[in-house]
């Protein structure tokens, strides 16, 4: 690339995005990779007396819960003449197309074609496209991959922590590719700038302290470790990335003014691609048993996660939505100048790319769960220790890094 002053004329070309990592439609490398996992498609609370239209991984679908309590996820357009099943009638069993009354079960089986002559066996030959679903924690999950490769739903240790209850939380959409949403999860340096020094303190002031940064691959994915000096205290913040599109993080209320051992995550978040240029985040939250809960409040996105603020305010105090969505509908990696603080982003993309290529070889990608087993151990936490600083700044940086790794290693 041409460098120097006033070189805009020579830097106008925008190369293609990284198709292998970003495109998620049927038959694309990343799309087939994503289809090897369970993904949230909605909350159970979204499934009322009318169907729910859904766009997921570039496919138009309809979700519903029939009167028998079974949850279905079908191709949107009726197999008869293409009318959208978002206008269908949810029945005791399955869903009935509004146009001619054809009824489909949750597995896609055509149950009846009432306009046909008595004794017609047409319905025995008709199947509506359907995907398996299951419910957990108030979320509806769908598996859209090859039926013979269906995995188990991964269960993380944070889903059953003593003294906590797991609740459905927020859902919010961003007008951009899923990967730039997920890159953010392994980019801890942005918390000091976007959420503090650049845009005003959106969380606590200690987020403005620049952290000693570290990233580690783990048996379940990867983590970042951001360790800050706050007076005589050392604050270790750890966040998880769980392939292909999950991360866990703790609350943003830490003041680091007293010792705290291993405060675990409060949010598990999935970034589910609607298509190549839209992403929906779904959240489960783990709430301490002794905290009062306003379920209406936890169903709303956190500060700066959506476009709910006026544009002028977002310009003056941008947050995650603005930083992620403004990278273009699909971020162009060829135009980036990655730095040492982007090591986590590089590692995350490599995990995803390796998974995509594993699927291309016919293998299971990293992160696929087979069969029952113990909950998957994760590491996200806030830990605060009282460790006075040595006089030498370089020695303190080494101390911070070593403390972060010791906290992750555990007792």
253 C-beta neighbours (distance < 10 Å), count: 10
Q: Do 334 and 231 belong to one domain?
A: yes
What CATH number does residue 354 fall under?
Answer: 3.90.380.10
Out of 119, 149, 179, pick the residue that ends a domain: 149
**Are 277 and 378 contained in the same domain?**
yes
CA-to-CA separations, 184 to 35, 271, 315, 316, 406, in angstroms, rounded: 22, 11, 19, 20, 25
Residue 6 resides in a domain: no
What's the rounded Cα separation, in Å, for the pair 32 and 25?
A: 8
Q: Is the dihedral of CA 56, 152, 163, 69 positive or negative?
A: positive
How high is the pLDDT of residue 199? Answer: 87
- Cβ within 8 Å of residue 245, ≥6 positions away: 34, 37, 39, 178, 182, 270, 271, 272, 273
Which DSSP category does 297 fall into? H
pTM over 0.85: yes
Element (H, E) at 212: strand 212-218
| Series of mean pLDDT values for 10-residue runs along the chain (411 residues) | 86 95 98 98 96 98 98 98 98 97 98 93 96 98 97 96 94 98 97 91 92 97 97 97 97 90 90 98 92 86 93 95 97 97 98 98 96 92 96 96 95 75
Helix (H) or strand (E) holding 216: strand 212-218
Indicate whether 11 belongs to any domain.
no
**Spatial distance between the Cα atoms of 346 and 342, rounded to a whole number of angstroms:** 6
- Answer yes or no: do 119 and 177 share one domain: no
- C-alpha to C-alpha distances, 155 to 136, 158, 367, 371, 389, nearest whole angstrom: 10, 8, 11, 11, 39
Question: Integer distance in angstroms from the first to the last C-alpha of the chain?
Answer: 50
The helix (run of H) or strand (run of E) holding residue 247 is: strand 246-249
Strand (E) or helix (H) holding 242: strand 233-242
* DSSP for 328-350, written as a single string: -SS--GGG----GGGHHHHHHHH
Examine the domain organization and report whether 326 and 387 are in the same domain.
yes
- Vertex 323: Cα angle to 317 and 326 (nearest 5): 115
Cβ atoms of 123 and 248 closer than 8 Å: no
The dihedrals phi and psi of 95, each to the nearest 5 degrees, come to -135, 140
- Asked if 159 and 375 touch (Cβ cutoff 8 Å), the reply is yes
Query: Which domain-ending residue is among 118, 133, 149?
Result: 149
* 62 in any annotated domain: yes
Chain Cα centroid distance, residue 275: 14
Q: H/E element holding 72? A: strand 71-75
Coil vs helix vs strand at 42 = strand
Same-domain pairing of 174 and 211 = yes
Range of the domain at 229: 157-409
User: Do 285 and 350 fall into the same domain?
Assistant: yes
- One domain, residues 202 and 139: no
Show which of 149, 181, 196 is a domain's final residue. 149
How remote is the C-alpha of 233 from its chain's centroid? Answer: 32
| Cα distances (Å, whole numbers) of residue 277 to 158, 176, 280, 302 | 30, 4, 10, 22
CA–CA dist 254, 263 (Å, integer): 10
pLDDT for the residue numbered 296 = 87
pLDDT computed for residue 43 by the predictor: 97
Q: Are residues 255 and 129 in the same domain?
A: no
Kindly provide the b/e burial profile for residues 254-286, where b requires at least 16 CB atoms within 10 angstroms of the residue's own CB: bebeeebeebbbbbbbbbbbbbbbbbbbbbbbb
Residues 143, 165, single domain; the answer is: no
Q: Is 306 among the domain residues? A: yes
Report yes or no on 372 lying in a domain.
yes
Does some domain include residue 16?
A: no
Claim to verify: residue 373 and residue 309 sit in the same structural domain:
yes
CATH code of the domain covering residue 119: 2.102.10.10
Phi, psi (deg, nearest 5) at residue 356: -60, -45
Q: What is the number of structural domains in the chain? A: 2
**One domain for residues 213 and 340:** yes
- Residue that is written with structure tokens 């994503």 in the block: 34
- For residue 235, the SS3 value is strand
Q: Where are the alpha helices (DSSP H) in 155-259?
A: 178-183, 189-192
Asked whether residue 131 is assigned to any structural domain, the reply reads yes
Specify if 81 maps to a domain.
yes
Q: Which residues pair with 213 in a beta bridge?
A: 226
Answer yes or no: are the C-beta atoms of 180 and 338 closer than 8 Å: no
Q: What is the pLDDT of residue 410?
A: 86
Q: Which of 174, 350, 392, 411 is nearest to 278 (CA)?
A: 174
Token duo for residue 173: 């959409």
What's residue 1's pLDDT?
54
Asked if residue 321 and residue 185 are part of one domain, the reply reads: yes
Predicted confidence at residue 358, as pLDDT, reads 98
Q: Report yes or no: 217 and 208 within 8 Å, Cβ to Cβ.
A: no
Neighbours of 301 (CB within 10 A): 18
Strands (E), 301-409: 381-386
């Amino acid at each position: 690339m041409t460098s120097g002053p006033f070189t805009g004329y020579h830097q106008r070309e925008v190369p293609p995005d990284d198709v292998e990592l970003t495109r998620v439609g049927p038959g694309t490398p990343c799309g087939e990779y994503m289809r090897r996992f369970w993904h949230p498609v909605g909350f159970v609370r979204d499934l009322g007396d009318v169907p729910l239209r859904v766009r997921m991984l570039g496919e138009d679908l309809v979700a519903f819960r029939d009167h028998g309590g079974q949850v279905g996820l079908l191709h949107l357009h009726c197999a008869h003449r293409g009318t959208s099943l978002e206008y269908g009638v949810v029945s005791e069993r399955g869903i009935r197309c509004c146009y001619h009354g054809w009824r489909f079960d949750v597995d896609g089986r055509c149950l009846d074609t009432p306009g046909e002559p008595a004794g017609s066996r047409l319905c025995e030959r008709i199947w509506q496209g359907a995907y398996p679903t299951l419910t957990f924690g108030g979320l509806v999950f769908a598996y859209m991959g090859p039926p013979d490769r269906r995995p188990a739903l991964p269960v993380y240790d944070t889903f059953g922590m003593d003294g906590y209850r797991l609740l459905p939380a927020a859902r919010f959409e961003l007008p951009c590719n899923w990967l730039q949403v997920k890159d953010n999860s392994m980019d801890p340096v942005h918390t000091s700038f976007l959420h503090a020094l650049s845009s005003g303190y959106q969380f606590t002031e200690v987020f403005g302290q620049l952290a000693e940064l570290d990233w580690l691959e783990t048996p379940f994915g990867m983590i970042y470790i951001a360790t800050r000096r706050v007076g005589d205290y050392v604050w270790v913040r750890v966040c998880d990335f769980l392939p292909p599109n999950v991360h866990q993080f703790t609350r943003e209320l830490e003041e680091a003014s007293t010792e705290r051992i291993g405060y675990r995550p409060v949010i598990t978040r999935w970034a589910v691609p609607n298509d190549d240029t839209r992403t929906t985040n779904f959240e489960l939250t783990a709430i301490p048993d002794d905290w009062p809960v306003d379920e209406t409040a936890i169903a709303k996105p956190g500060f700066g996660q959506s476009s709910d603020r006026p544009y002028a305010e977002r310009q003056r105090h941008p947050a995650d939505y603005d930083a992620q969505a403004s990278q273009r509908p699909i971020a162009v990696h060829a135009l980036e100048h990655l730095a040492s603080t982007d090591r986590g982003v590089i590692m995350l993309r490599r995990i995803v790319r390796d998974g995509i290529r594993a699927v291309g070889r016919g293998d299971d990608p990293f992160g696929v769960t087979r069969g029952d087993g113990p909950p998957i151990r994760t590491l996200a936490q806030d830990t605060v220790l009282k460790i006075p600083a040595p006089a030498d700044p370089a020695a303190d940086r080494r101390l911070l890094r070593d403390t972060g790794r010791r906290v992750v290693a555990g007792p």
